[in-house]
Structure 1
């Protein structure tokens, strides 16, 4: 198979903001090349989000040249060679070529270099170590192009050595396969990940949570999580347990009915213990609250799955929660929610409720439990009637 030698024509290469960054850096014999996700994704036809740049110029030189060119330079990781250059309001991470002098599981002592192969050798996966000049010409020191096109997530060099440099690479191995991989996991990578899984205990829960957010939203999440479960890795990440069958059912129903299934919905489906999951992944208060709502309303729908109850959830919690809760309930009950209920959860937009506390107080109700009970009674009747804009219910 003939491998591509260039990504000329990629939109980001013609972006004036990008061109200004390159022009600022490439002076006095220094070179700059795009590396990582932008190159990989362009090769496989995936969207490009960020454009990261590697350069022979040292970080203080990058910052000085960027400033002289009228760009903003932010020393986001200057000790490790990274300067964020802001051009036309967009950030570009610019990192000096590096080689590891010492690693201890996460933090590395690095030395700057001008050797592109040495820089590639310290990266995680071959598909992330493909470089492209500003004109699109590709440089592939570790065979990443063929792996990217084949959907093969392969560590650079010895997988055990790469993992021992940073144990988060165990999670990244599964996450990248879930996002970009095809077929079976790379055997050498899987063997090393399983053998070194004790190292996960050294990672902060914040870093684990960040990686898991990306993993559960990837297209191949369930398959990757299943292997993590079979090998004991998932239990180290989610000590409260997991429910993969429920998550798989929710994802399948989401695809069948065109109902969105966001991050919190996937976590709700996965978690055997919501509170344990929130602590294990250091979820934000907003994320935890949304998961709690999905589980609460999912239990309500599991007990009574009809249109009136779906409308009630939409009124109380919104379409996203209603859709997720319906799929959660269907997975719990092992049933099909049917198209009409899925569409109500996704598309129903109720008018403003005519049932208000002010209206009841005008009828003579005083603030207190009786007012709340009457509000709930009338709201339920309004929802059962289909949420009409005009609604009257006698006391």
Structure 2
């Protein structure tokens, strides 16, 4: 099939590394075209991060061609037709055209093909099923460009059949809608997702976590989240869901701060009774992610921006800058802006004394050592961290002489 459209030639297409790789493949008679996200994002003027390609020959042929050109090749998914080429330090995922032979809702058995339309037909959504080349030619078999322009996220083919092939497509449907869609959501796709909602329990926690956090990082995910909740999609993986009121506040604050954090937004849709440990295990969160979730769901400390910079510094010191920002973004008070500036510019100092100084002051090893360090630390914090080591040692000496902590 001849190309049926055009896209603007992008800087990443002209990149010498891209050209070197394309030339190496073409030298061996391999047709390579850009596919999926890079084509989609180029069409809607979004920044392209990952450049993926499809080829019409088996992966072994591509490996041979690339290695001959001294381009590094990593066999990331050779049996599925995928390799990664690394040209000048930039990775390119290259996948042979495929057609599905068998699917079970989670995994697919595929066969290689040289049929571009057949490969496009097995992809999830029309906006992800387009191919382009370095000359700006576009192959769009299912009007993905039209859907992209209209803000439609539409399955390629029958939505119910496509979901039966891979249940993860339910979450991907909503993730892409959050990022690229405009109301109303595609009715056929939504109905199929609702009908298959119970099948989500068959997915791995890792896949659910990844899709959910990506969805939440969209510019304004609240409406999508509400639709998902109304469709019963959180029943198994996030029964703690408690609405989007706090999410909308967090999104507004993050937008003002030019940031976006999926985990922080996840915490915002979880009710106050949510158990961070239980949720962390269910979604297979990392230790650090579970800690952040625990801090965000905790009742205390209540972030206080009304009492000025000294209180802000006190709380930043106790929580740490990053965890402080996590809780700060949940505030309705406009005073969070000053606190945010402080949290991103001020580094909490280290306490100028330690237990060793207490021992040198003649205090025997034991519980009194820790008590005295804590007392001096409290005094140091109360004085807004202004006291230097000499002043802290003098305060320690005074407390030792008074018999404090004995």
Q: Could you say whether these structures have the same fold, taking a TM-score greater than 0.5 normalized by the shorter chain as the test?
A: yes
Structure 1 match to 2:404:
none
Residues matched between the structures, number = 386
**1: CA distance, partners of 2:362 / 2:246:** 48
User: In the superposition, relative to structure 1, how do residues 355 and 195 fare at CA in structure 2: closer, same or farther (>3 Å)?
Assistant: same
Query: Following TM superposition, by how much is the alpha carbon of 1:248 offset from its aligned partner in structure 2, in angstroms?
Result: 2.5
CA contact (8 A) 1:254 1:327 kept: yes
Map residues 134-173 of structure 1 onto 2, 5 A cutoff. 134-173=134-173
Structure 2 match to 1:377:
375
**1: CA distance, partners of 2:314 / 2:189:** 48
User: In the superposition, relative to structure 1, how do residues 355 and 314 fare at CA in structure 2: closer, same or farther (>3 Å)?
Assistant: farther
Structure 2 match to 1:321:
323
Structure 1 match to 2:289:
287
**2: CA distance, partners of 1:220 / 1:273:** 26
CA contact (8 A) 2:329 2:336 kept: no
CA contact (8 A) 1:97 1:112 kept: yes
Map residues 145-294 of structure 1 onto 2, 5 A cutoff. 145-242=145-242, 244-256=244-256, 258=257, 260=259, 262-271=261-270, 272-294=274-296
**2: CA distance, partners of 1:170 / 1:52:** 23
CA contact (8 A) 1:319 1:347 kept: no
Could you say which structure has the larger radius of gyration?
2
The CA RMSD over aligned residues, in Å, is 2.4
Query: Following TM superposition, by how much is the alpha carbon of 1:188 offset from its aligned partner in structure 2, in angstroms?
Result: 1.2
Query: Following TM superposition, by how much is the alpha carbon of 1:370 offset from its aligned partner in structure 2, in angstroms?
Result: 2.9
Structure 1 match to 2:402:
none
Query: Following TM superposition, by how much is the alpha carbon of 1:196 offset from its aligned partner in structure 2, in angstroms?
Result: 0.8
Which residues of structure 1 form unaligned runs of 5+?
Answer: none
Q: Say whether residues 1:108 and 2:108 are aligned partners.
A: yes
Alignment TM-score, normalising by the size of structure 1: 0.89
Which residues of structure 2 form unaligned runs of 5+?
Answer: 400-406
**1: CA distance, partners of 2:242 / 2:374:** 35
**2: CA distance, partners of 1:72 / 1:216:** 35
Larger displacement relative to structure 2 (185-194 or 242-251): 242-251
User: In the superposition, relative to structure 1, how do residues 374 and 185 fare at CA in structure 2: closer, same or farther (>3 Å)?
Assistant: farther
Q: Which has the higher helix share?
A: 1
**1: CA distance, partners of 2:9 / 2:290:** 43
SS at 1:142's partner residue? Answer: coil
Query: Following TM superposition, by how much is the alpha carbon of 1:135 offset from its aligned partner in structure 2, in angstroms?
Result: 1.4
Query: Following TM superposition, by how much is the alpha carbon of 1:216 offset from its aligned partner in structure 2, in angstroms?
Result: 1.8
**1: CA distance, partners of 2:312 / 2:263:** 19
CA contact (8 A) 2:251 2:260 kept: yes
**2: CA distance, partners of 1:217 / 1:365:** 53
Query: Following TM superposition, by how much is the alpha carbon of 1:49 offset from its aligned partner in structure 2, in angstroms?
Result: 1.0
SS at 1:110's partner residue? Answer: strand
Larger displacement relative to structure 2 (246-255 or 109-118): 246-255
Query: Following TM superposition, by how much is the alpha carbon of 1:195 offset from its aligned partner in structure 2, in angstroms?
Result: 0.7
**2: CA distance, partners of 1:118 / 1:35:** 14
SS at 2:99's partner residue? Answer: strand
**1: CA distance, partners of 2:226 / 2:215:** 12
Structure 2 match to 1:299:
300
Structure 2 match to 1:67:
67
SS at 2:73's partner residue? Answer: strand
Query: Following TM superposition, by how much is the alpha carbon of 1:70 offset from its aligned partner in structure 2, in angstroms?
Result: 0.9
Q: Deviations over 1:164-203 (max 9, x none)?
A: 1110010111111111222222111111111111211111
Query: Following TM superposition, by how much is the alpha carbon of 1:260 offset from its aligned partner in structure 2, in angstroms?
Result: 4.6
Map residues 89-128 of structure 1 onto 2, 5 A cutoff. 89-128=89-128
SS at 2:111's partner residue? Answer: strand
